[in-house]
Amino acid sequence: MGAKKVFVTVGTTKFDKLIEEVSKDEVLEVLHSLGYTFVQFQVGTGDSNERKHPKIHIKYDRYFENFAQEIESSDLIISHAGAGTCLEVLKQHKPLIVVINEDLMDNHQIELAQQLAKDGYLQCCTPRTLKDTLLERKFLQFKQYPNPDPRLFSRYLDKCMGFEIK
């Protein structure tokens, strides 16, 4: 069995509190106790303050050409609450912890993250509660997000227009 990888992503914006929290020794120790040995940070436009850890290999990058491949190669994703990132991770059926950026003024992302958490697809927390969320281990028992049905909208539209549906 290879190294268990955590992918931490902030998307294209700045979310330094998420990077700082995961970089703390106490959080890295929890990740190590859960069997993770590699943490890949995607820091966007934020500060990376690169550091090392004796038990976990840590790598920092600003962006990735193939974001979906990074998700696919990871065993756990810790992410901001952006809809695109959440849906990409859920589509790949990977454990996801969404960390809410409490500093955003009009944080519409909270609603999506909280609903997906309520439905059992992911865990939701803040930077301050990330360590406890990891220790609870509930993120390991997530419901698989259903695959999309590309015909759903066209069937709905046909029904609205009064076309016969077969």
Q: Indicate which CATH number applies to the domain containing 135.
A: 3.40.50.2000
In terms of average pLDDT, the best of 54-63, 90-99, 149-158 is 90-99
| Enclosing H/E stretch for 36 | strand 36-42
- Does a structural domain hold residue 62? yes
- Can you tell me the distance from the alpha carbon of 155 to that of 129, in angstroms, rounded to the nearest whole number? 43
Reported confidence tier of residue 150, pLDDT bands at 50, 70, 90: confident
Q: Report pLDDT for 155.
A: 83
Tell me, yes or no, whether 132 lies in a domain: yes
Instruction: Report the DSSP beta bridge partners of residue 40.
Output: 7, 59
Q: Give per-residue pLDDT as tens, 137-149.
A: 988 889 999 888 8
Query: Is the confidence at residue 1, as pLDDT, over 60?
Result: no
* Mean of all residue pLDDT scores within the chain: 90
* Structure confidence by residue, pLDDT tens digits, 49-92: 788 889 999 999 988 888 999 999 999 999 999 999 999 999 99
Q: Regarding predicted confidence, which is higher, 107 or 78?
A: 78
Within-domain flag for 107: yes
What pLDDT score was predicted for residue 75? 97
Query: In this structure, is residue 37 part of a structural domain?
Result: yes
**Does residue 166 belong to any structural domain of this protein?**
no
Residue 96 φ/ψ, nearest 5 degrees: -135, 130
Separation CA 101–CA 15 (nearest Å): 7
pLDDT band at 36 (very low <50, low <70, confident <90, very high): very high
Rounded to the nearest 5 degrees, what angle is found at the Cα of 51, between the Cα atoms of 49 and 56?
140
Band (152; pLDDT cuts 50, 70, 90): confident
Segment 98-104 shows an average pLDDT of 88
pLDDT for the residue numbered 147 = 85
Strand order in the sheet with 4-9: 57-61, 36-42, 4-9, 76-79, 96-99, 123-125
Residue 124 confidence class, pLDDT cut points 50, 70, 90: very high
DSSP SS3 for 7: strand
Query: What does each C-alpha distance from 59 to 12, 19, 53, 56 come to in angstroms?
Result: 17, 12, 11, 10
Element (H, E) at 129: none
Number of domains in the chain: 1
Query: Structural domain of residue 77, as residue ranges?
Result: 4-161
3-state secondary structure of 76: strand
